[in-house]
Each structure stands twice: as structure tokens, then as C-alpha cells.
Amino acid sequence: MKALRAAVISIALLAASGCVSRAPTIAHVHIGHAITGVHVTPNKEGYMVTAARRAADTVDLAHRAAASNDLDEIKKDVAAAVQATDFPDGFGVKQAIVMAANHVTFAATSDDASLNVQRAASVFASDITRVVERCELIVLLGKDVQASKSAQEASVPVAELGKLAQANVTGDDSNGDGVVGSAPSEYGLAQLRKELEAMIDRESPRYVTVPQWYLFNLVRLPNGRWVFDKLGRGGNIDGYK
């Protein structure tokens, strides 16, 4: 009986241990915020996903403006395109890509960050520069459109705005080597996403998709330490995004 009872206990312990999953590293949770999900975005999606969606919206709005001969409609569509690109009170392309870079940096500065992430973070933060610059140019072109007196006058800045919006999605070939996105100065969101995916592929232990609970319940204590909120209150940090 004692042997049987011991065997039952052993089996129960093994079964219990098989049901317990190991928490992801803090670094991997921050990476998850960049690419998978975070509690503060409109659809609780990752910052890169938000940036890509808003960039695609900008392209669509620019196309609509370019196809219109109604100045009021052109201005309306361009105003919406500008907001999709740079929305300080929300998540435009600019804000979302900057937050993605911030979280990759958070990952790199976490105590459990791999050398791979530490090395890649500063490169990624630098490589978003051209996307941010295009966003700022789109805002300026939007002002030119709003000041236009006719649809014909507006057509020039609208066309340029459309080119910049498309480049933010796919990259461009500004150095004329025949390859889109061959250098960071040509990067769009497509190249930046590939850069993050390459970083993830190099991770050891390998990166796996972070469960939502961990993504939404990482908090930073006043002493700067990152921990998981066991009460599951959803990232209760003032000013933390």
C-alpha cells in the first residue's frame, strides 16, 4: 500500500508539473508588446501591427484624395491621412513605430535580455528614422493641401504625400540601386518588421508568442524593476505604454 500510495503521489506530481508553464522573460514580453499585443492600443494589438494598419489607411486616403476633383473632399481625406500618420493623442504611424522601438529598447535593458536583443535594439531604434521623417513630411504636405485654393493646386502635394505614404509601407529606392529597402535610409514598415523577425529568429532560448496575460500585466515598480501584476489589473502604470 505504501508503494502504491508513493506511486500515485509521484504520478500526481508529474502531472501537475506538466501543467505549469514557465513565465516568459521580461525581455520577450517587451518584444511581444512591439509585435503581438499591448493593452493601450485601440485594438490591443502590437505597436508594429498598429503602425502597419495606420500606414495602410494613409495610403488609401491619399489615393482617394488623388482621385478626387472636389477640393473639400481632398482636404477632408488628406486631414484624415495626416491624423493616421501623426496623431499625438492616439496612435498614428509615427507614434506606433516610436513605441515599438521604445519597447525593443526596454527589452534590451531588461536584466534577462540576451546579447542578441541588446545588440539589435539600438540598430532598430536607429532604423525607424526614415519612417519618422516621412511622417513629419506628410504633416507638412497636409498643411500645403489645406492652404490650396483649388483641386489642381492641391494635386501636387497630394501626389507627393501619396508617395511618402506608400514608402512608409513598402520602403523606397532613394539610392537608385534598383532594390527597394536596400538600406535603412529606404526602410518602410515591411523592412522594419523583417528586422524584428530576424532578431527573434536568432533568440536562444527561442522566442515564442507571449500569452496575453503576460503582455497585459507587466508593470514597472517605483524602483524601476519590471514584474508581473499577479492581480491581473492590466498594466496599471501611470504613463506607461
Q: pLDDT tens, 74-100?
A: 999 999 999 999 998 889 999 999 999
Give me the percent of the chain exceeding a pLDDT of 70: 88
**Alpha carbons 195 and 189: distance in angstroms, whole number:** 10
* SS3 category, 185: helix
What pLDDT was estimated at residue 232?
67
Give me the percent of the chain exceeding a pLDDT of 90: 77
Which region, left, alpha or beta, applies to residue 208 given φ > 0 means left and ψ of -120 to 50 means alpha? beta
Give per-residue pLDDT as tens, 12-71. Answer: 333 333 333 578 999 999 999 999 999 999 889 999 999 999 999 999 999 999 999 999
Q: Where are the beta strands (DSSP E) in 40-128?
A: none
As beta bridge partners, residue 227 has 219
What pLDDT was estimated at residue 21?
59
Mean per-residue pLDDT of the chain? 89
Work out the pLDDT band at 201, boundaries 50, 70, 90.
very high
- Classify burial at 118, counting beta carbons within 10 Å of its beta carbon; exposed 0-12, middle 13-18, buried 19 or more: middle
Q: How many residues does the chain have?
A: 241
- Classify burial at 1, counting beta carbons within 10 Å of its beta carbon; exposed 0-12, middle 13-18, buried 19 or more: exposed
What pLDDT was estimated at residue 234?
66
What pLDDT was estimated at residue 237?
47
102 versus 22: the higher-pLDDT residue is 102
**Alpha carbons 187 and 218: distance in angstroms, whole number:** 31
